[in-house]
Structure 1
């Protein structure tokens, strides 16, 4: 695995495009995205305002807790927000639940990315390229990329 040029979080028109799925949830059309995406409702770390972000579910734990990844690294606002305020509201399709956001260790994230790549090989290569990684498609390359990215478990609260 080679680290090319790590991109900054999107701004301008690209940011609007990335935020488009949030509007689907606002219009009640979140179920169209299925279980592969979720809406994360979180609190801004400095503003204290409610924020929303749609994220791809990389995997689920045995207990069903979604695992998500910050493709733009630890600089992503949503990631920094959940570190500061880990109690979040998650919506997957039409189902909502409160959760505790738990950052995962590098080795755990590496395994989740490798497993994602086994299930979605072409998408994983394209996403890795978009995140600034050059991978050869091997499990070890995806593990190496996964060690560079922050992963979060969204553990449902009882």
Structure 2
């Protein structure tokens, strides 16, 4: 029987390097994973009861959940993290900017098949993994626990939190633009979901600022009223662009060129908005 201890240790070391870089960069990675959609998934060992953290690829799936795929690179056996979440469905998800508790639910039947087809559409590598193994590769939905907010921000202060959240939107926007640039003659179902998930998150973020952060600052810094008024107006303009993007990607007959143009319009407005907000608000909070 061959001794694969070194291979196992090398794999663990590789994963730990990704985990360390992911946490240090709050979700940003370099090299082969620079444009990958990854989260850190922490499960509880099915037998040991100890926490285990694994970098996994994910699919956006609207505002309520994300999907992860237990491919194990096409291995004949399910990955350990999948067995762990079957035994202990309560997991922890790290997105880079946020950490939250989630409930893991394996998809079945047509729902699983449709989700896996979307994954293959966005990356044919998933199909290659399925071809390598006789097992049906599981797809798992991760539903955020609690009040449905974004989770705990991985920041030590309000100033840092603003920067972290803004950088998360910049990173997500960069991924979306990269994915959109690769769209062919038809806009794929998964790309539409990615766009709509981004829109949902942006809407929630701006709603939170309008109802909590801006009134807080206006009360303590009356001199900020002109800047806050401008930021509120920009929220309205961005909301209109978000609605245009929603319409551009809605339906199977969506035109990729139109969708790309709407993403670029939104990107220009949003990047300028984030920069102005940081310029105006961060000095008030330091």
TM-score by length of 2: 0.41
Partner residue of 1:42?
43
| 1:80-91 equivalence runs, <5 A | 80-91=83-94
Task: Provide the C-alpha distance between the structure 1 equivalents of 2:44 and 2:145, rounded to a whole number of angstroms.
Answer: 17
Q: Deviations over 1:103-141 (max 9, x none)?
A: 110422221122123233xxx2x3433x2517xxxxxxx
Larger deviation, residues 28-37 vs 91-100: 28-37
Instruction: Give the SS at the match of 2:27.
Output: helix
1:31 matched to 2:19? The reply is: no
**8 Å Cα contact 2:120/2:127 also seen in 1:** no
Higher strand share: 1
Task: Tell me, yes or no, if the aligned pair for 2:67 and 2:139 is still in contact at 8 Å.
Answer: yes
Question: Given that residues 74 and 80 in structure 1 are in contact (C-alpha distance below 8 angstroms), is that contact kept between their aligned partners in structure 2?
Answer: no
Gaps of 5+ in 1: 1-9, 135-144
Question: What CA distance in whole angstroms lies between the structure 2 residues aligned with 1:79 and 1:70?
Answer: 6
Paired position in structure 2 for 1:11: 8
The CA RMSD over aligned residues, in Å, is 2.6
1:153 is matched with which residue?
A: 141
Residue equivalent to 2:131? 133
Structure 1, residues 15-41: CA drift from partner, whole Å, max 9, x if none?
543553122235x22420478110011
For residues 76-155 of structure 1, what are the structure 2 equivalents within 5 Å? 76-120=79-123, 124=124, 126-129=125-128, 131=129, 133=131, 148-155=136-143
Deviation, structure 1 residue 13: 2.9
Query: Relative CO higher for 1 or 2, CA cutoff 8 Å, sep ≥ 6?
Result: 1
Q: What CA distance in whole angstroms lies between the structure 1 residues aligned with 2:131 and 2:106?
A: 21
State the match for 1:7 in structure 2: none
TM-score after normalising by structure 1: 0.70
Aligned in 2, Cα 1:106/1:65: closer, same or farther, shift over 3 Å?
Answer: same
Residue ranges of structure 2 left out of the alignment (5+ in a row): 1-6, 30-34, 147-286
SS, match of residue 93 in structure 2: strand
Q: Distance in 2 between matches of 1:83 and 1:99?
A: 13
Residues 101/22 of structure 1: CA separation in 2 closer, same or farther (3 Å cut) = same
Which entry has the higher C-alpha Rg, 1 or 2?
Answer: 2
Task: State the Cα distance separating 1:76 from its structure 2 match.
Answer: 1.1
The number of residues matched between the two structures is 131
Is residue 60 of structure 2 the alignment partner of residue 60 of structure 1? yes
Indicate how the Cα distance of structure 1 residues 66 and 105 shifts in structure 2: closer, same or farther if over 3 A, else same. same
Instruction: Give yes or no for contact 1:106–1:150 (8 Å, CA) kept in 2.
Output: no
Residue of structure 2 equivalent to 1:137: none
Moved over 4 A (4+): none
Shift in Å at residue 54 of structure 1?
0.6
